[in-house]
Amino acid sequence: MRILVVGDGKVGHTLAEHLAREEHDVIIVDRSEEVLQRSEDTLDVLCVRGNGANAATLVDAGADKADIIIAATASDETNMLCCLVAKKLGTKYSIARIRDPEYNDSLTLLQREMGIDMPVNPERATALEISRLLRFPFASNIESFAKGRVEMVEFRAQEHDVVVGHALKDLPRKFNGLPQVLYAAVEREGNVVIPNGDFVIRTGDRVHVAADMVTITAYFRYLGKNSLRVKNVMLLGGGRISYYLAKMIIPMGIHVSMIEINEKKANDLSESLPDVNVIYGDGTDQDLLEQEGLKQMDAFVALCDRDEENLMTGLFAVKEGVPKVIVKNNRVAYADIISAMGLDSIVSPKAITCANILRYVRGRNNAYGTKLERLYRLVNGKAEALEFIPKGTDPYIGIPLRKLNIRPGTLVAVIVRQGKVIVPFGNDHIEAGDRVVIIACESGISDLNEVIRK
């Protein structure tokens, strides 16, 4: 695919590096000759110097023949204008980094009017990732599908879990009240299995279950894995991530304390977040953390601008016995070292942003037309989750799944119809416009008709 990346900063450069590695034709546009020279020296890409919102620059970069433009400059307005101009010139798809919370409420309108196919908000995406980790502190990984309506949670099965040692088809009968979830994939001894009704979960298996948010929360409560319920959280830093995170977790019944070193910002946050206990002070001061009750917190999240401060305060929180500690760190190369120091939960806005964009690009690259909407890689790439929107002309529409041929090694995991999440069984059927999530133990599937046949 021919992909334009406007903005050669941290995110833009990292994206260009990954895309070039996947053998896409990548063109980077930036005003700075110095940063472009770095990319030319280290990456297999073409560089164009100029303003990415300027039509002449985009023409020079070949926007009329481009498949995707990714606008990742420091300015939201520039990114939106880049997408608008590029789409007018003939670029098929556009991705824009939009960070300002003021644009969040009108994002749907902006997408439609500015021709943006995928808006990316690094801070909000990071906050969403953290909120999931706070809701399921025991989880190894969490993925969302169908615009957040469905979640897939990975956990390691333990000996005392009631689902261990029983065939999956027998669980509803043996354990009355066990919420019904989909057992989407199981990793055992390095191999990935799409389980059927006869499959038996063993101790040590890494199990992926999927359902809507309410059902999956009830499921883990039944298993007793929600014994650590996060009720009190301390956030270090009052930036955009903290703002988005507070807005997300307060409705979950979580009490939030936030420490901000800038007095004006602290006052502004107190007004915009009336339910948050905003503290003006230096969050790296251990005495202040102790005075504000760090030891009584269920979770501590370090979200300062400087990674070093996040790591040091995070380690102090671990030392003080806080059950769940999450730190922001963009230096992904040091993740193993940081984990060895006792910090297991590390979030990187840059990595999350790049992963979301690459996921979208792979989805478009694997599709012919618009058959494949999204592509998610699971279990370190050993399995894939693919999201489709079927058409009214597809031959399987309206036919019960038990009467269809499903490709071996694949599973119709979830159907989302008019906002309702359906875990499908044999009598369920697919309708045009549904969001259908497929789990597959192979790669390369690009059409739902390759999976389901009459």
pTM of the model: 0.70
Q: How far apart are CA 318 and CA 226, in angstroms?
A: 20
Residue 117's contacts (CB-CB under 8 Å, 6 or more residues apart) are 93, 94, 95, 111
Q: How far apart are CA 266 and CA 82, in angstroms?
A: 34
Could you read off the pLDDT tens digit of each residue along the chain, which spans 454 residues? 899 999 998 889 989 988 888 789 999 999 999 999 999 899 999 999 999 999 999 999 999 999 999 999 999 999 999 999 999 999 999 999 998 888 877 888 888 888 899 999 999 989 988 998 887 787 767 877 777 788 888 888 888 899 999 999 999 889 988 998 989 889 888 788 888 889 999 998 889 998 888 888 889 889 988 667 889 999 999 999 999 999 999 998 899 999 999 999 999 999 999 999 999 999 889 999 999 999 999 999 999 988 889 999 999 999 999 988 999 988 766 666 776 676 767 888 888 888 788 778 876 765 543 456 777 767 656 788 888 888 888 888 999 998 999 888 888 888 989 888 888 888 999 998 888 988 888 766 777 888 888 7
State residue 340's pLDDT score.
66
Q: Are strands 150-156 and 206-212 parallel, antiparallel or unpaired?
A: antiparallel
Encode burial over 308-346: b for 16+ CB neighbours within 10 A, e otherwise.
ebbbbbbbbbbebebebbbbbbbeeeeeeebeeeebebb
Q: How far apart are CA 88 and CA 205, in angstroms?
A: 50
Q: How far apart are CA 139 and CA 136, in angstroms?
A: 5
Q: How far apart are CA 248 and CA 245, in angstroms?
A: 5
State residue 443's pLDDT score.
66
Q: How far apart are CA 273 and CA 246, in angstroms?
A: 8
The amino acid that residue 437 corresponds to is: V
Distances in Å between the Cα of 4 and the Cα atoms of 16, 27, 30, 73, 206 are: 9, 5, 11, 12, 38
State residue 369's pLDDT score.
39
- Reported residue count of the chain is 454
State residue 339's pLDDT score.
63
Q: How far apart are CA 224 and CA 167, in angstroms?
A: 20
Nearest alpha carbon to residue 239 among 331, 326, 312, 304: 304
Q: How far apart are CA 252 and CA 439, in angstroms?
A: 30
State residue 55's pLDDT score.
93
For the chain, domains (ranges, CATH) are 2-120 (3.40.50.720), 232-352 (3.40.50.720), 358-453 (3.30.70.1450)
Q: How far apart are CA 189 and CA 212, in angstroms?
A: 28
Contacts 24+ apart (CB under 8 A), 34-40: 35/8, 35/9, 36/8, 38/8, 38/13, 39/8, 39/13
Q: How far apart are CA 114 and CA 275, in angstroms?
A: 35
Question: Angle CA(14)–CA(20)–CA(22) in degrees, nearest 5?
Answer: 110
State residue 167's pLDDT score.
93
The amino acid that residue 452 corresponds to is: I
Distances in Å between the Cα of 134 and the Cα atoms of 243, 361, 433 are: 16, 29, 33
